[in-house]
Amino acid sequence: MLDSWNDGPTKAAIIAFAEGAAKDVAPEDRVAVFDNDGTLWCEKPAYIQLDFLVRRMAEQVGADPSLADRQPYMAAAAGDLGWFGDAVTKHYLGDDSGIKLLAAGILSAYSGLTVEEHAERVKAFFAAGEHPSLKRPYTACGYAPMAELLRYLEGHGFTNYIASGGGRDFMRPVTYQMYGIPPERVIGSSVGLDFADGHLRTTATPEFLDDGPVKPVRIWDRTGRRPIFAAGNSNGDIEMLQFTAAGTGPSMSLVVRHDDAEREFDYTVGAEKALQIAGTHGWAVASMREDWIRIFD
Amino acid sequence: MLDSWNDGPTKAAIIAFAEGAAKDVAPEDRVAVFDNDGTLWCEKPAYIQLDFLVRRMAEQVGADPSLADRQPYMAAAAGDLGWFGDAVTKHYLGDDSGIKLLAAGILSAYSGLTVEEHAERVKAFFAAGEHPSLKRPYTACGYAPMAELLRYLEGHGFTNYIASGGGRDFMRPVTYQMYGIPPERVIGSSVGLDFADGHLRTTATPEFLDDGPVKPVRIWDRTGRRPIFAAGNSNGDIEMLQFTAAGTGPSMSLVVRHDDAEREFDYTVGAEKALQIAGTHGWAVASMREDWIRIFD
């Protein structure tokens, strides 16, 4: 258990919580929520889901060349992932011009499919997709210490949920294989679905962007309980971590810090405030460099 | 098992499905969804939740007499449950004038509470609430044969969810006690929640009316699976029953028919189309009069 974690204050705090204070919480209330991008799997140089979307947009340009002179299709056709990464970074810095173009493209990329067809596309993507610099299958880009943490908490009566800004139906086909978390415990962003002729089909209408203050709302929707353990890595996880910390009973909020340029990535953009609050509020911080013996399996 | 069910084609169909065809479905995919009002508990002469809302509206008139001359507060203060019942019936018949007034009152009735405070109000209501004509606690207004069916399906590897037009957070505090269904498996209508200062508070903004075509969408959101068993009783359940029936594997769709004026109620308003489709599509029908040995525990 927790074999990939160095002995130190963070590992000690996890053990003290799970084997100590949490034992006073009824097992059915031992709900743990985990962000996904940057918390359970690698989110750099770009979100894995972005690759899934860009591939589709490039396909769409192939089928309809009139798309080729506007964003995000121009960048997709050129394989210019930098444009996409910039759009996301600017969003974190308060400039939403790029992400709005991107969102429109994202929303229509896989619209009109039945939910089952969409799942097949996701499975096909993960069967072949490889991380551009780590050179490992995307399904092997989950953090080994976090997978151990999931198993460890389960072993102590917790029920784990993912609560991610990533697409709910993008994650579901692989979360059981990667994390032991089944589809019904995956919370994420979603587009509206239309029901007709017995089937649900994806639309291009956004439903939830499961980030920031939306995360605790969707967690409540799905669980009907306030979590007692939460792990995140970015500013978009702050409210989820606060919701967890503000319960009347014992709780633990954990922030993963990306500070390992050698084995993974070293960045704080989009995480500054989360790390600052962790410092002032006594939340645990998992430093990839200091706390993790290995990053990947 | 199923001791409150008379031997007959409906009981036989349930057993043939659960102990036959469903055995070829992986246990994690044995998802069963149940409507609540009129399927698991009594919905006449008015929805139980309406009593919860009317009591609150009467309190609100007491605190602010300026409300007393408009609907739905006028009816609430006068204890005129007929006005509320009419609004719902007219809604089923296509006239939404009353239900719109009602909805606005409903939405603001419990707004501004933390989700935990709201749950306490619900618990207090159920601790005291009694059915007006059956003269039994609301928590004893669940149908015994359906509670047996829930246990029976669980015993055959199914996971049960509620998918109701009733309020998600109105049902959650009692569903485990009444049906063995925990909060994370209760899907229902909801108002928006606001996150601030670590807490989630109810708003007066509608989020989902979990009825008709919305039901399969919310079921997918919550489970990520297409159910293989569904039970409902009204036209608002048709799409959920169709979604279940349209899967590629074995499935069972069941409609509860209220035809027992002596022991419960006899009505088809709001259920005409569901019963008609059941007839033409070979869905099972549970007649309260013919199939159920007893209605309540």
pLDDT at A60: 92
Residues of B with CB under 8 A from a CB of A: 28, 115-116, 168-169, 172, 182-184, 186, 190, 192-195, 197-200, 213, 216-217, 220-226, 239, 242-243, 245-246
d(CA B114, CA B122): 13
CA-based nearest distance B144→chain A, Å: 25
Mean pLDDT of the B78-87 span: 84
Put simply, the answer to whether A195 touches B183 (Cβ < 8 Å) is no
Q: Which of A116, A215, A220 is best to mutate for the B interface (most B CBs within 10 A)?
A: A220
What are the chain B neighbours of A200 within 8 Å (beta carbons)?
Answer: 216-217, 220, 243
Put simply, the answer to whether B221 touches A172 (Cβ < 8 Å) is no
pLDDT at A22: 98
CA-based nearest distance B104→chain A, Å: 21
Put simply, the answer to whether B184 touches A224 (Cβ < 8 Å) is yes
Residue ranges of domains in chain B, CATH in brackets: 9-43+136-291 (3.40.50.1000), 48-112 (no CATH)
Residue whose C-alpha is closest to residue A160's, from A215, A218, A212, A219: A219
Confidence of residue A97 (pLDDT cuts 50, 70, 90): confident
Q: How many residues does chain A have?
A: 297
Does residue B125 surpass a pLDDT of 80? Answer: yes
Put simply, the answer to whether B217 touches A200 (Cβ < 8 Å) is yes
> Average pLDDT over chain B, rounded to whole?
95
The DSSP-derived string for B53-113 is: HHHHHHHHHHH-GGGGGSTTHHHHHHT-HHHHHHHHHHHHTT--HHHHHHHHHHHHHTTT-
pLDDT at A112: 95
Q: Which of B220, B237, B277, B281 is best to mutate for the A interface (most A CBs within 10 A)?
A: B220
What pLDDT, in 10s, does the model give residues B37-50?
999 999 998 889 98
The DSSP-derived string for A238-282 is: HHHHHHHHTSSS--EEEEEE-B-TTTS-B--TTTHHHHHHHHHHT
Q: Which of B117, B184, B248, B253 is best to mutate for the A interface (most A CBs within 10 A)?
A: B184
- The proportion of chain B whose per-residue pLDDT surpasses 90, expressed as a percent, equals 85
Confidence of residue A101 (pLDDT cuts 50, 70, 90): confident
pLDDT at B46: 85
pLDDT at B38: 98
Mean pLDDT of the A221-237 span: 98
ipTM of the complex as predicted: 0.95
Of the ranges A266-275, B97-106, B125-134, B170-179, which one carries the lowest mean pLDDT score?
B97-106
Does residue B103 surpass a pLDDT of 90? Answer: no
Put simply, the answer to whether A243 touches B198 (Cβ < 8 Å) is yes
d(CA B134, CA B250): 38
A 10 A CB-CB count for B24 gives 8
Query: ∠B183-B189-B191 over CA atoms, to 5°?
Result: 100
- The proportion of chain A whose per-residue pLDDT surpasses 90, expressed as a percent, equals 86
Residue A110 DSSP SS3:
coil
Torsion angle, alpha carbons of B287, B288, B292, B297, to 10 = 150
What pLDDT, in 10s, does the model give residues A104-150?
888 889 999 999 999 999 999 999 999 999 999 999 999 999 999 99
CA-based nearest distance A20→chain B, Å: 24
Of B172, B221, B226, the CB nearest to A224: B172
Confidence of residue A102 (pLDDT cuts 50, 70, 90): confident
Mean pLDDT of the A55-79 span: 91
Does residue B242 surpass a pLDDT of 90? Answer: yes
Q: How many CB pairs under 8 A join A and B?
A: 78
Confidence of residue A191 (pLDDT cuts 50, 70, 90): very high
CA-based nearest distance B197→chain A, Å: 8
d(CA B275, CA A26): 43
Does residue B92 surpass a pLDDT of 80? Answer: no
Q: What are the backbone angles phi and psi of residue A135, rounded to the nearest 5°?
A: 55, 45
